[in-house]
Structure 1
Amino acid sequence: MAVDEGAVDLELDRAHSARMYDYFLGGTTNFPADRESAGKAMAAFPAVLVAARANRQFMHRSVRHLTQLGMRQFLDVGTGIPTSPNLHEIAQATAPESRVVYTDNDPIVLTHAQALLRSSSEGRTAYSQCDARDPERLLKSPEVQATLDLSRPVALSLIALLHFVSDGRSVSDGRSVPGGRTAHGVVEYFKDALPSGSTLTVSHVTPDFDPEALGRAVGAYEAAGTAVHPRTREDFTRFFDGWELLDPGITVTHRWRPDADHDLSQVTDAEAACYGAVARKP
């Protein structure tokens, strides 16, 4: 896949949530505006680095667990900037034949799509430029259709995405999104469209443990031009209505099936600040 970096406006003079997250994870795809806003978020909520790491490790563990359960098709919506190991690297380390589609609507991710396409020889990876708030178009995209068999179980990942989706029908700058849906509407569309045996993995920022500190962090993001919508455990639980939660159910990200590589045992729930869960469609 050839990518013309000159074809998109990356707005490097403005902070972007994906590049801020890359900075929190120790990545290098970030610029002065991103680092400035990230610094303000860290000053407002010093645990943001811990929360980012806990969220990323939750993704790693959940993908590894799903491959062990036999899942071989993965759809990662809201991919963000590639930070190795990426989802396909985790899945294909256990099951080389795994097929993975990444999707995002952010032009910065498009410029790095080559890193997402380095599949094992036995499997396949693809990247689709789509908006999560238009799930019908996303599932009909050529990349999804050519890579995944949607009549067979698919592991859908919505990692640290839905708190950037409002309860309205437009993006934060007021532009309408074709077929745009609320966060719960997006999830319900995917749940209806995917076949029995599919799984849903979600992580999401919550105000439940330290609302004042999280509120300051949200303010820092909003000052940088990105709206964030933290949700309570009750709202988070609704994403899984009708599906069977896998053990240990709904918990804070760093407490979801910790393994031998787990290095966040001393982290508090307030520091992790995100719920995580995985469920299967009956």
Structure 2
Amino acid sequence: MRNPLILIVDDEPKSRQGLKRRLDAWNEQLADIHTAGTAFEALEFMQEHEVDLLITDIRMPEMTGLELIEKTKKLNQEPVFIVISAYSEFEYAQRALKMGVVNYLLKPVKKEAFIEAVSSALAAREKKDRYAMVEKAMEDPALEQIESLPEPLQEAAQFIEEHLGEKFSLKDVAAHVHLNPSYFSVLFKEQMGITFSEFLTRKRLQQAKRILLTSDLPVGEIAERTGYQTAKYFIQIFKEYEGKTPSKYRKEARED
């Protein structure tokens, strides 16, 4: 996993370098710390680098810090933002909050408050990245068309979702939605494009990936929670679909 990248933007050299020295002295997260003297310099830097935390002064010539934040979002970058201002103006603070700024600090910035703000912002960025990683792992087009299905199949999908950790068959689900098993099987594949068995496997693996990425539970317990009778069979199925074991999947995801 790469070190977080912090960019400090301030048109006042003394202020800019002072903030950088504070972070260099602290730097518990081994962050890469860079500075820019203008918003345009910052935007040019972000064309080439992915910034995790942008710390910007509000009042700068040619472009304000809030305008810089707006342009940053258009670069397809999603850093977290800290705004620093010499002015205690409610309007600025209100606008900053609406733009997703995680902290608004007034100059002169106290060392403890600054370090605490940076630490919290990096934690927020890490949480945001982890959430995005889990969301990406959950993507499966074959599982995302439930709302357009006939009502019996919507009920079937809900039943499956609520009982993933239990043992049940196609007959059990068909009985739950009051359909003949053979008809239910044909209808399911016709509407979903995959068989009931394939759908169930994908749902269980989707849930398994969520648990792998958000917990340290052992593989055997994850297998049990997602409806597999043995860890060996779970690992076999997981590897068949993902090309790697659950443990390797978790390890590589966290390293990335």
TM-score by length of 2: 0.28
Give the structure-1-normalised TM-score. 0.25
Instruction: Tell me which of the two structures has the higher relative contact order, counting C-alpha pairs closer than 8 angstroms and 6 or more residues apart.
Output: 1
More strand by proportion, 1 or 2?
A: 1
Name the structure with the higher helix share.
Answer: 2
